[in-house]
Every structure is written in structure tokens, then in C-alpha cells.
Amino acid sequence: MIKIVFIILVFFISISSFWSFKDNNLDNKNFLNHIVNLKEDNLKFFYKRADGEIIRNFKRLKKYLDTLNIDLIFAVNGGMYDKGFTPHGLYIENGKIIKELDTIQEAYGNFYNQPNGVFFISFDNKAYVKKTSDIKELSLIKYATQSGPMLVIDGNIHSGFQENSKSINKRNGVGILRDGNIIFVMTKKRMNLYEFAKYFQNLGCKNALYLDGFVSKTYKPEQGFKHLDENFAILIGQIKIR
């Protein structure tokens, strides 16, 4: 009898936790979320077209993919960039290293707010967010983008973030959920890095990475987000072949 009561109690706690997770996190009015399951979804990184021209924005990416009979389901700015729309830090596309890993420890800007990190997908189709210092075997990586700072590190919010910080902006980032799926998050309002990181932590992400700030946009037409014209370097997109 005691065993049955215990099982029922665990069941209701689990259901309660699930709905709490759903209500308090995924359905938050301040955030736009997109989850990618690499076992079912096709996620790719884009920088240049086959002719070498930089794609730059979602509108041009959508048009380019259309010529290949591919639909764009979702897209997001994939990280910071330099003048001329070149990726800042490590960028790997289809196993080819376009930009080398940036291991500079002290410099200006969010990218160098240590520890920074890398979001990557391995050739065996698994997603990771790791600190830059933990990146070793580049030959195993199919896609990668480096950015900074890390938002969540081993389940903990970046120690340099202040809960009452007045440095607020719209932001986007990426984390890995407990089930291994990828979650991209775009803020719908300006907020500080602590608040943004806390959201990923509440989602259960062991590690999460800041991608970019006020210029970031998201393409997710099913929810009315069609930010087509802002220019970037790296674009991360979920696609579907017709």
C-alpha cells in the first residue's frame, strides 16, 4: 500500500513539474523559443552561397534556398561578426574551418567576456555548447560558431553577471536541453545577461551560449516573426527539402 501511494505521489509530482516547466518557461511572453530535434529536424549553418557571395540576411537565404527547392522553417543570427560580415571567432561549415578558434583571453566586448564558448554540431549529429577552452577535436565538428559570453556553465549562471545590472538589450542565444535537443531563444524585450541566463537555467540547460545582441533577429513565420532584412554573417537555419 505504501509503495502504491509513493508511486502515485511521484506521478503527480512529475506531472506538476512538467506543467510548471511548460507554463513558467516555454510559454513566457518575454521570450521567443524554437526547439530543434536533430533526429527529426534538418539544421544547417549558412555563410556564403555556392558562388562565394555572402548571404547576409534571411531574405537572401530564403531566396537562395528556394532555388534549391528547400523551404526555410526557422532562422536566427548565428553569432557576432566583423567588418565585411566575416564571422568573429571559430566558424565551421560542413566540416570546413572558415575561421580559426579565437583563444584571446582579454579584449573588449561581450565576445571576450570569459569564459566564452562554442555551439557546435558533430558529424554524428549531436549538439553541444562548450567553453572555448574545452574545444579540442575540430575534425569531429560539422558545424560550429564561437561567441561569448557563456550564459550557463555546468548548470550555473555565469559568475560575472549581476542580477541588478542596468545593461539591457534584446538578445539571442542557444542552449542544450536535458533531452539533448537544441533550444534557440530570442528575447521580446530588452533585458540584462543575468535575466537571460536565468531563463536558460530554468529550462534545465546545463550549458548555454550568448549569440548576439541588439542587432539579432529571428525568422519564424508561424509565430509572425519575419525579420528578413537585417544583415549578419552567420545564419543558422532549420530547413526542409521539398
Write the secondary structure of 210-225 as one string of H (helix), E (strand) and C (coil): EEECCCCCEEEHHHCE
CA distance 149 to 143: 19
pLDDT > 80? residue 4: no
CA distance 96 to 233: 16
Q: What pLDDT, in 10s, does the model give residues 141-170?
A: 999 999 999 999 999 999 999 999 999 999
Q: 170: burial class by Cβ within 10 Å (0-12, 13-18, 19+)?
A: middle
Q: How crowded is residue 80: how many other Cβ atoms within 10 Å of its Cβ? A: 25
Q: Which grid cell sits at 117? A: 564558448
**How many alpha carbons fall within 13 Å on the CB side of residue 105?**
1
pLDDT of residue 226: 80
CB within 8 Å of 74: residues ≥ 6 apart = 34, 36, 184, 218, 219, 220, 237, 238
Q: Is 99 helix (H, G, I), strand (E, B) or coil?
A: strand
Higher pLDDT, 26 or 214: 214
Burial letters 129-156, b for 16+ CB under 10 A, else e: bbbbeebeeeeebbbbbbbbbbbbbeee
pLDDT > 60? residue 122: yes
Q: What pLDDT, in 10s, does the model give residues 39-71?
A: 999 999 999 999 999 999 999 999 999 999 999
Higher pLDDT, 227 or 172: 172
pTM for this prediction:
0.88
DSSP codes, 166-200? ---B--EEEEE-TTS-EEEEEESS-B-HHHHHHHH
